[in-house]
Amino acid sequence: MKKLLLTAAAASALFVAGAASAEVNYNVALTSDYVFRGISQSDENVALQGGIDWNNNLFYAGGWASTVDLADIDYEVDLYAGVKPTAGNFNFDFGVVYYAYPQEDDANATELKAAVTYPLGAGSVGAAYYTNTDDTFDTYYAEVNGAYPINDKFAVSGAFGTQEIADAGSYNTWNLGVAYNITENYSVDLRYHDTDFKRSDFGAFDEGYDLVKERVAVTLKAAF
């Protein structure tokens, strides 16, 4: 909880510091399955999600929440902040993400993020690296990704990543999807997810673990 308060305070400071030139955006979404790094967080059920983002070109901060179905946990709240400097055609993102589960504080986690994107034609390619700050959960996640607009309405995107969990093993995850802009504010995303988790060395979770099997998720999103 102390980390949550510190992260919230930092985010609030950023909001105040750049209020004059800042932009604030809101979003709400309904997804058929909340998938995070290849694993269903909603027990393959529908999840309601929403967030708020602030930025002033260089600094950003925000919050996001989703319903989940994880043992005794029913919802997740994420707080994040960082900077997005540029160098030539490279766009960087250095930040911190705090994953909070108010119903179970022991599940809370903080990750440091370093990412970069580079324009490639009309689309872009990128990479990202996340590392956990808690020695108890010594993990990292590394990803390469890409996106390309087909036209004003359709865009395709995908990613391939590796999740490492200390003293447990690692697994690969990938996704590929297409997004359609219904209007300026409403869009729908159809995405295929899969992992090799069931073939990795995770002991009891190695066989028939339903939450990591291949799946398709549909997400309807409104952004303002």
Is residue 180 pLDDT above 50, yes or no? yes
Give the pLDDT score at 13.
Answer: 44
Is residue 6 pLDDT above 80, yes or no? no
Give the pLDDT score at 18.
Answer: 47
The stretches of the chain forming alpha helices (DSSP H) are 2-17
Q: 2-214+216-220 belongs to which homologous superfamily?
A: monomeric porin ompg (2.40.160.40)
Q: Poorest-confidence range of 97-101, 162-166, 217-221?
A: 162-166
Is residue 12 pLDDT above 90, yes or no? no
Backbone angles phi, psi at 38, to 5 degrees: 90, -5
Q: Whole-angstrom Cα distance, residue 15 to residue 53?
A: 10
Confidence of residue 198 (pLDDT cuts 50, 70, 90): low
Is residue 15 pLDDT above 80, yes or no? no
Mean local confidence (pLDDT), 46-61: 97
Residue 76 to residues 60, 86, 99, 192, 223: CA-CA distances in angstroms?
Answer: 20, 31, 7, 23, 20
- What is the pTM for the complete model shown? 0.86
Domain ranges of the chain: 2-214+216-220
Q: Whole-angstrom Cα distance, residue 29 to residue 47?
A: 8
Sign of the Cα torsion 202, 204, 207, 212 reads: negative
Confidence of residue 212 (pLDDT cuts 50, 70, 90): confident
Is residue 8 pLDDT above 50, yes or no? no
